[in-house]
Amino acid sequence: MKILVLGAGVVGTCSAWYLQAAGHEVTVVDRQPAAGMETSFANGGQISVSHAEPWANPHVLPRLLKWLGRRDAPLLWHWRADPQQWLWGLRFLRECLPGRVQANVAAILALALDSRRRLQILREELALDYDQLQRGILHVYTDRGELAAAMSAARLMARHGLEREMLDAAACVAIEPALAGAADILVGGDYTASDESGDAHRFTQALAERARQAGVIFQYGVEVERIASAGGQVAAVVVNGEGGPRLLTADAYVLALGSYSPLLLRPLGIGLPVYPAKGYSATLTLADDSHAPSVSITDDERKLVFSRLGNRLRVAGTAEFNGYDLSADPVRCQALIDRTRQLFPKLAVEGEPAFWCGLRPATPSNVPLIGRSRLSNLWLNTGHGTLGWTMACGSGAALADLVGGRRPVPEFPFLRG
């Protein structure tokens, strides 16, 4: 078929790769000048299957009360006169029920495990280089209550095929010596040796180039303005770029525009439970004598991750619910640096941090929306929240299977239209 993919982030690019590998004629459009320039640009850099526990869980409710009114809170909710935000928030509370959490963890793990395996195959076959490290992910804790909650999550994940090895503080430092300066505040951690890290932006651009060489057409600088429907299917997509507005047509369409996906479907009467969760990152250039981590670190208490990307350290995380606002709050930016200095007091950097914000497409459950929409030739691949980089390859491969009428391998609640 002739397929038009809307969005050249890591999810859209992976979708295009697997669709062309299945024999389809694929075109990708994106408003940016290159692939991976928005949410995929400066994220946390983790392939973190071990982060499968969704934000919506029973433990988050007391934390939300503790975080109220704090500009530097890991999860910051700005109340807006926005019915979509309120509806999303109510659904989020429903997903905190224990039974829902267990089902969501199982679904996320199934897709994430498959996705990590596919990423490893792609990396080998295509000789992709994106500052990748296969040194695992270490979760660290400075609060005993948080550590106890992690033990519960680890037991649940073990039942679904992922081992998170529980550690004391000394073992954490042994795995990552750069934590030695924070040994007195650590109370323990857990380690997933099979997880990885790498630069999602570099990966996306490298895969886009390989896809282009394989025949995928990328049209950049093209704004998707409207989806036109007729007779229960997409008739055309209205885009605007150099030369003005025009219509693009195909046999099938894939919507992979992250947080902006619901805005295109709302005029068609289709509601998606996706809301933008703004994440922050700081990229630090490391000095030659820097005591920087080489194992990717997750700080669950502050909802931050630390990933080594060559001579850079990426510090990223938190979630701010403030609509489509992309302005950076200096208080939240400084919180990234303060926690970095607390955990890595001997870190030596060159120059100033490069701060960045991106909008993660969050569903209340953290389970992405993959499959056919109510329009028969429109397919969705969106809603990956904080795990878009982790689940991108699996999502793209699963979507290609669904479009081709095949049943994807992972057990996952794919959309049925």
**Is residue 113 within 8 Å of residue 161, measured between CB atoms?**
yes
Highest mean pLDDT among 149-158, 283-292, 390-399: 390-399
Do 228 and 238 meet the contact criterion of CB atoms below 8 Å apart? yes
Each residue of 305-325: pLDDT tens digit? 999 999 999 999 999 999 999
Question: By the 8 A CB rule, do 417 and 372 touch?
Answer: yes
pLDDT range class, residue 286, cuts 50, 70, 90: very high
> What is the Cα–Cα distance from 367 to 376, expressed in whole angstroms?
22
The predicted-structure confidence for 60-72, as pLDDT tens digits, reads as follows 888 888 888 889 9
Can you name the residues that pair with 315 across neighbouring β-strands?
282, 306
| Measured CA angle at 243 (ends 241, 249), to 5 deg | 65
The total of other beta-carbon atoms located within 10 Å of residue 376's CB is: 13
Pair of tokens at residue 125 = 């076959």
pLDDT band at 153 (very low <50, low <70, confident <90, very high): confident
Percent of all residues in the chain with a pLDDT value above 70, rounded to a whole number: 100
What are the CA-CA distances from residue 131 to residues 125, 127, 308, 362 (Å)? 17, 12, 8, 26
Specify the length of the chain in residues: 417
Looking at residue 35, what DSSP letter applies?
A: T
For 107-113, what is the mean pLDDT? Answer: 96
- Dihedral pair phi/psi, residue 416, rounded to 5°: -120, 10
> Rounded to whole angstroms, how far apart are CA atoms 12 and 35?
9
Rounded percentage of the chain residues whose pLDDT exceeds 90: 89
Residue 185: DSSP 8-state: T
Task: State the pLDDT confidence band at 240, using cuts at 50, 70 and 90.
Answer: very high
Helix (H, G, I), strand (E, B) or coil at 237: strand
pLDDT of residue 67: 86
CA-CA distance, 222 to 366, in Å (whole number)?
29
Q: Is a pLDDT exceeding 90 seen at residue 241?
A: yes
Position 64 scores a pLDDT of 84
Average pLDDT, the chain: 96
Q: Output the CA angle 350-354-356, nearest 5 degrees.
A: 160
Residue 191's pLDDT is what?
97
